Amino acid sequence: MSGEQTTTQTETEQPASGGNDFSVIKNHMMRDGKASIMFLARSFAAINGFTFAIASFFNPVLAYACFQRLMFAFGLASVIRLSQRLGPVQFTKQYMISVVLEDSAHYMLFACNFYAHKTTTVIGVIPTLYCLLQATAFLLAMLQECHNPTWDILKRQLNKVKENQQQLLRVVASAEIFVMPVVIIQLFTGQCGSILTPLVYYQFLMLRYMSRRNPYVRNAFTELKMAINQLLYKPACPGIIRTVITKVMGLIEKLSPMTYEQAQAS
Q: Quick one: pLDDT band at residue 66, thresholds 50, 70, 90?
A: very high
Q: What are the extents of the domains in the chain? A: 1-163, 175-266
Indicate the residue type of 49.
G
Query: Cα dist. 160→25, 35, 108, 146, 167 in Å?
Result: 21, 22, 28, 19, 12
pLDDT of residue 258: 61
Considering the entire predicted model, what is its pTM? Answer: 0.84
pLDDT surpasses 60 at 250: yes
Distance, in Å, from the CA atom of 7 to the CA atom of 5, rounded to the nearest integer, reads 5
Per-residue pLDDT tens digits for 167-210: 999 999 999 999 999 999 999 888 887 889 999 999 999 999 98
